[in-house]
Amino acid sequence: MDEPRLKSTLRSLHEELRTADRLDDELQTLLSELDDDIHRLLGEDRTESHWEKLQVRAEALAVRFEAGHPRAAKVFAELADSLGKMGI
């Protein structure tokens, strides 16, 4: 997975969440932190462990969104997969 595809997935996630009914403050904060970390890493030298940590966070968010926002959860899962592939 390349960086343009990752950025595209992030845009899809933001669009999906923008149209969601309501997100609690904690999930909004977690999403914002994950997004910031991903963008920061895209501009830096990074190691596999950086991507793995972000992948784990994205997977955790996918699980948390599953019940209330299944489409967003699917995009989080895709994001986690992309992050895992970037760490290879």
pLDDT, one tens digit per residue, over 38-83 is: 777 777 666 667 778 888 888 888 888 888 778 778 888 888 888 7
**pLDDT digits 0-9 by tens, 11-48:** 887 777 777 667 677 777 877 887 788 777 777 666 66
Which contiguous run of DSSP H or E holds residue 28?
helix 25-42
Q: Identify the pLDDT of residue 20.
A: 67
Neighbours of 23 (CB within 10 A): 17
Structure tokens given for 62:
């996918």
CA distances from 26 to 23, 29, 43, 64 (A): 8, 5, 26, 11
- Report d(CA 16, CA 1) in Å as an integer: 21
pTM: 0.65
Report the candidate in 17, 2, 14 with the shortest Cα–Cα distance to residue 82.
2
Domain segments of the chain: what residues?
Answer: 3-86
